[in-house]
């Protein structure tokens, strides 16, 4: 069968295969344990850095791989095929944190931060607040100028990678009277006085991935730690999230692909009425539908990533990718549980975890309703 993988060049295919083998060998045996305990095993993060997947786009001069955005998408997909919790760690690091610093930070900040992000420091991206979710620009975290510093005060919620991160991109409003045009992006590091990471959420899915509250109590941040310009944080937030949505698409494709492979294996072994259930036409049709939808989602994801690398407009394609891929992942993982029958509803088999992991795809980095709104506006303008 012709698949989207045939559009990969030799370097991309070798990279994809290396990530797949690593994920199956090193992450696979730990998935169930990490899901139950709700955190990563200690060896996971160092292995990801050693593999080079935490700094894919970071230039080689700063210790990264100097590869393309598309390579990041391949890594996220293959990690998600085994464990979406591990994939989101690399996803945020590459498509949000490193991406924003590469595009917007001063040379000084890049020189200081990129080697750390490539060499062992996890990053987190902090936009969401209690009353600022889909309405991202309603954030209440404030930044008050104090000489050469800014004093940040506020709270952030639902921040991925927060428990492990050393470097935080935090959005705060430095000019509240200017509305969203006062929003500014700051680098806050773990250990800054007045900064603390709060409780970890007990989540439905991607349970090993940390999602925490951030507490800022008059945190002094040097002006040199402003990413971009004061008042331009809204632009950084919008454009970075547009890129991040392609990463979520890859994550959902990987989750769905894993569920399909689980289903193919189970239906080839399970017997009812004297034959393997995979021989029943109704089951074959369901598997065919799953494969078709995954292929469509993968092609959309790859296309959006290629557009981004080519520096062509991709806003609509990114929104479509996230919308459709999350829908496919939810449908495919739900159907996988049905194909497994009663055991699929238990934790004895992996499909129930994939179903739980898929749900977040419709929520974070812009809900499905927000993607629909973006798509509608773009097609009406064209």
Catalytically active residues are 365
What secondary structure letter does DSSP report for 129? Answer: B
Query: How remote is the C-alpha of 325 from its chain's centroid?
Result: 13
Residues pairing with 220 in the sheet: 151
Task: Report CA-CA distances (Å) from 91 to 85, 125, 177.
Answer: 10, 11, 34
Number of helices followed by number of strands (H, E) in the chain: 12, 10
Contacts of 94 (CB under 8 A, 6+ apart): 53, 54, 55, 56, 57, 72, 75, 76, 247
List the one residue out of 178, 198, 196 whose CA is nearest residue 188. Answer: 196
Reduce the secondary structure of 3-26 to three states and give it as a string: CHHHHCCHHHHHHHHHHHHHHHHH
Per-residue tokens: 107:
């040379």
Beta strand 226-227 with 211-222: parallel, antiparallel or unpaired? unpaired
CB 176 within 8 A of CB 182: yes
Task: Report CA-CA distances (Å) from 295 to 155, 241, 301, 322.
Answer: 40, 24, 10, 14
Per-residue tokens: 205:
């899915």
The DSSP element (H or E) to which 66 belongs, if any, is none
**Integer Cα distance of 278 and 213 in angstroms:** 46
| Tally of residues, the chain | 382
Neighbours of 366 (CB within 10 A): 23
Per-residue tokens: 193:
């006085």
Per-residue tokens: 173:
């409003």
CB 351 within 8 A of CB 333: yes
CB 270 within 8 A of CB 264: no
What secondary structure letter does DSSP report for 96? Answer: I
């Amino acid at each position: 069968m012709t698949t989207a993988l045939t559009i990969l060049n030799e370097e991309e295919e070798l990279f994809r295969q290396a990530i797949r083998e690593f994920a199956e060998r090193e992450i696979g045996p730990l998935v169930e344990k990490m899901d139950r305990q709700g955190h990563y095993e200690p060896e996971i993060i160092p292995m990801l850095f050693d593999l080079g997947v935490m700094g894919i786009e970071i230039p080689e001069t700063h210790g990264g791989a100097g590869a393309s955005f598309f390579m990041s998408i391949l890594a996220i997909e293959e990690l998600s095929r085994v464990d979406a919790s591990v994939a989101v760690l690399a996803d945020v690091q590459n498509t949000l944190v490193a991406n924003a610093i590469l595009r917007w930070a001063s040379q000084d900040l890049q020189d200081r931060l990129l080697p750390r992000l490539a060499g062992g420091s996890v990053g987190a991206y902090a936009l969401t607040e209690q009353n600022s979710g889909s309405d991202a620009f309603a954030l209440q975290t404030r930044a008050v100028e104090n000489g050469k510093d800014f004093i940040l005060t506020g709270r952030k919620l639902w921040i991925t990678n927060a428990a492990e991160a050393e470097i935080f991109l935090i959005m705060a409003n430095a000019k509240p009277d200017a509305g969203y045009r006062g929003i500014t992006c700051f680098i806050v590091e773990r250990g800054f006085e007045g900064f603390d990471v709060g409780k970890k959420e007990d989540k439905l899915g991607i349970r090993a991935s940390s999602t925490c509250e951030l507490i800022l109590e008059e945190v002094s941040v040097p002006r040199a730690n402003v990413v971009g310009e004061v008042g331009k944080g809204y632009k950084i937030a919008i454009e970075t999230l547009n890129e991040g949505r392609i990463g979520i698409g890859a994550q959902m494709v990987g989750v769905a692909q894993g569920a399909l492979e689980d289903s193919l294996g189970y239906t080839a072994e399970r017997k009812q009425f004297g034959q393997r259930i995979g021989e029943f036409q109704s089951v074959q049709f369901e598997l065919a539908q799953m494969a078709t939808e995954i292929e469509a989602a993968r092609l959309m994801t790859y296309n959006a990533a290629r557009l981004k690398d080519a520096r062509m407009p991709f806003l609509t394609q990114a929104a479509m990718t996230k919308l459709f891929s999350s829908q496919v992942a939810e449908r495919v993982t739900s159907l996988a549980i049905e194909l497994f029958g009663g055991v699929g509803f238990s934790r004895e088999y992996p499909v129930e975890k994939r179903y739980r992991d898929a749900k977040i795809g419709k929520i974070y980095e812009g809900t499905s309703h927000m993607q629909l709104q973006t798509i509608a506006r773009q097609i009406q303008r064209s």
